[in-house]
Structure 1
Amino acid sequence: MDQILAANSALAATIGGVLIGLSAVLLMATTGRVAGISGFVSRLLPPYADDAFIARIAFIAGLVATPPIYSFATGHGIGISVSSRVPLLIVAGLLVGFGAVRGGGCTSGHGVCGIARLSPRSIVATLVFMATAVATVFIARHVIGG
């Protein structure tokens, strides 16, 4: 049974990766824009009303709508748990936002699109993101005990 679940998880992850890559390519081909979530979200408010505003809204709407659509279509939940500690969530959100601004983008822009373009800046940024994530999980689980 565990092997079947692992195979299904691997298949779902592969299909998800292909769809993310396809959406990034289609966005670049149709709008000339990189699929960076932090850039999309940061440009939803004025003064960034431009010709790509509708594309940004559609992209973000797709991100928000996909989990409930998946759950409805498969009858399975998405299996994500989020901490109920509000102060922790606020600090985490602020740190992620600060990191995205300092890093000139987020993992979707650098990790998916930048690495695909062999951008040295994106490769370094993604390595820093991943190292920071590993260190954060280690500290949270083994030092703080969360």
Structure 2
Amino acid sequence: MSGEPSWKYIQKYRLQPHQAKYYGIFNVMVGSWLVYCLVIYTGFESELISHLTVNKARTRPPETVDDLVNADGWKWGIDALIWTGVPLEYFTRHKNPAVVEVNKHMERYLLLSTTELVFQYLWWGRIVCWRRIIRFSLSDQVSRF
């Protein structure tokens, strides 16, 4: 600035009224271009992340019971108290060999007591039963174990 007072420097290089309208249009164009680039970038990044995290060739979801029977590492289980009525009839009288295979390897277990259910919720965050989903609303002050 070579010794000039700062207000004179600002006055010397500030925009004149006839220049201001062009800079306003320029700012709008640059701003809209940056928003457009941001939208394209986020769309590309989210698509790229989904392709990198999920291998679609290996993680095809099972669509039928046959797919589940042929897959490795599957276990089937049911609560012994629910294993009556319609579920029992469905699995024991079905003519599909895949459903018969599921019935043959079905693990029957007893549902936990109410106290154990509460501790299971506090540890895992949710409890899923066949008949209902039990959800507890806990305040933020209650910490998990």
TM-score category by the smaller chain?
under 0.3
Higher strand share: 2
TM, length-normalised to structure 2: 0.24
Higher relative contact order (CA 8 A, sep 6+): 1
Higher helix share: 1
Larger radius of gyration: 2
TM, length-normalised to structure 1: 0.24
